[in-house]
Amino acid sequence: MRHCVWYAIAMIPCFVAQCQDAVKPLIPDGRKPEVELVQSGGFEGKLSRRRDSLTISFKKVGQERRLISVRTVLPEGLSSYPAFEGSIVATFGSDQVVRPCVMFFEASGACWYRLGSVLNYGDGGLLRLNLASLSQAAFSKDDNGQLDWGKVREVRVGVTVDGAGDGEVTLSQLRLTSQKYVPTKPEIIPLPKAKSIGKGADPAAKVSVEDVVIDGQHALHYWFEFPLNRHMYFVPSFRLPDLDFASYSGLRLTYKASIPKPIPGLLVLLYEGGGAYYAPSPENSEEFTAVDIKFSDFKIAGWAKKAGNDQELKLEKLNSISIGCHGSAAENQGKGTFTVKKLELIP
């Protein structure tokens, strides 16, 4: 019996080790010379090393986006990991926008990356990025359509910075983990400023858009007038930021709308570079209401199919969205309005 008890106790650490997530430190010791600052045009940088962290001080000129990062070269490839986590704390100018970034280079030069959400000034704590759906860099050409982990030879970690100014980025606890990335709260998609918008071909149609402030936040208010009993469309669109759409289940739209019948409601379209996808129409509402639209509810539009047989929505390729309406108005002189108060990604 004693032997059995001893054996059971001895096996506990093994069982715990098997249940723990696999972790691959990217930079075990920041003092090692194998880690270096990536020098490129558009900014001046200096790397300071401590035992458990790396700090990049930078001075950036110009408004264009620059990657400010460190890199480490790997002697061999990596196993596949679904997520990256680490602490990235940044201080920066008031006119700058800073986002975390991790980038993987294959031996062939192919490059894949993941951007995170905009960082708040000085915020700390661990952040996680989904690596299950990576974007290929514009300069990279890789016909595989995905990262080949076994061929990775270089990893870069840092931030992208838009806008001019001085700043500092401190990196620590940088690692790959086998624990899948699961968002725990909605992610706000910033609404753009009002701009020119598309409408139907009939010159009698009238449309307008204006910036408004609701509850202290920027929103968009749309107005239109359609010729009666003619099929018209009004589909103002804007580009989506480079967010981790594949980690979320869908969109949450906060809006109010007064659309002339028999038009069923709003038209929400997603675009991913080659196809357009529509969802069930959010209905009229006199008061602001929030409706959740699952990505799985979006269907390929018959008028905007992609080439080939694969018509599935590719969330990692989403680039723009339209929120508008289409149909034949038969009441209220064809006049309608809708206001988009907030757009979010939902877990």
The residue ranges of every structural domain in the chain are 22-177, 187-346
Query: What is the average pLDDT score of the chain?
Result: 87
Q: Would you state the structure tokens that stand for residue 286, as one six-digit string? A: 């006199």
Band (pLDDT 50/70/90 cuts) for residue 19 is: very low
263 vs 329: CA distance, rounded Å? 6
63 vs 46: CA distance, rounded Å? 20
Adjacent-strand bridge partners of 224 = 207, 336
Q: Would you state the structure tokens that stand for residue 109, as one six-digit string? A: 């030069």
Q: Would you state the structure tokens that stand for residue 158, as one six-digit string? A: 């840092």
pLDDT exceeds cutoff 60 at 125: yes
Cβ-in-10-Å burial (0-12, 13-18, 19+) of 307 comes to exposed
The torsion defined by the Cα of 44, 41, 126 and 29, in degrees rounded to 10, comes to: -70
Q: Indicate the pairing of strand 165-177 with strand 83-91.
A: antiparallel
Q: Do domains 22-177 and 187-346 have the same CATH topology?
A: yes
- Neighbour tally for 176: CB within 10 Å: 23
Maximum Cα–Cα distance across the chain = 92
- Cβ atoms of 320 and 238 within 8 Å: the answer is yes
Band (pLDDT 50/70/90 cuts) for residue 135 is: confident
User: DSSP assignment, residue 305?
Assistant: P
Reported as a single tens digit per residue, the pLDDT across 261-270 is: 999 999 999 9
pLDDT exceeds cutoff 60 at 7: no
Residue 16: per-residue pLDDT: 37
Lowest mean pLDDT among 1-10, 156-165, 223-232, 293-302: 1-10
Q: What is the pTM of this model?
A: 0.69
Residue 6: per-residue pLDDT: 33
Lowest mean pLDDT among 149-153, 192-196, 288-292: 192-196
Reported as a single tens digit per residue, the pLDDT across 179-217 is: 888 888 899 999 988 875 655 556 778 989 999 999 999
59 vs 326: CA distance, rounded Å? 49
pLDDT exceeds cutoff 80 at 9: no
pLDDT exceeds cutoff 80 at 137: yes
Q: Would you state the structure tokens that stand for residue 177, as one six-digit string? A: 């983990």
Lowest mean pLDDT among 72-76, 113-117, 240-244: 240-244
Q: What is the mean pLDDT of residues 228-240?
A: 90
Rounded to 5 degrees, φ, ψ at 109 are: 100, -10
Residue 204: per-residue pLDDT: 79
Residue 227: per-residue pLDDT: 94
203 vs 101: CA distance, rounded Å? 46
Reported as a single tens digit per residue, the pLDDT across 335-344 is: 999 999 999 9
- Cβ atoms of 179 and 83 within 8 Å: the answer is yes
Q: State whether residue 227 is helix, strand or coil.
A: coil
User: DSSP assignment, residue 280?
Assistant: P
Band (pLDDT 50/70/90 cuts) for residue 2 is: very low
- Cβ atoms of 29 and 10 within 8 Å: the answer is no
Task: Tell me if the bond preceding 262 is cis, omega within 30° of 0.
Answer: yes
- Cβ atoms of 46 and 37 within 8 Å: the answer is yes
Q: Which fold has domain 187-346?
A: Jelly Rolls (2.60.120)
Reported as a single tens digit per residue, the pLDDT across 23-74 is: 888 876 555 557 899 988 889 999 999 888 999 999 999 999 999 999 999 8
Q: State whether residue 315 is helix, strand or coil.
A: helix
291 vs 188: CA distance, rounded Å? 14
Alpha carbons within 13 A on the beta-carbon side of 226:
28
Task: Tell me if the bond preceding 190 is cis, omega within 30° of 0.
Answer: no
Band (pLDDT 50/70/90 cuts) for residue 175 is: very high
29 vs 171: CA distance, rounded Å? 12
56 vs 170: CA distance, rounded Å? 6
Residue 186: per-residue pLDDT: 93
Q: What is the mean pLDDT of residues 225-235?
A: 92
Tell me the DSSP string of 83-122: EEEEEEEEE--TT-EEEEEEEEEETTS-EEEEE-PPPPTT
Superfamily of domain 22-177, CATH level 4: Galactose-binding domain-like (2.60.120.260)
Residue 3: per-residue pLDDT: 41
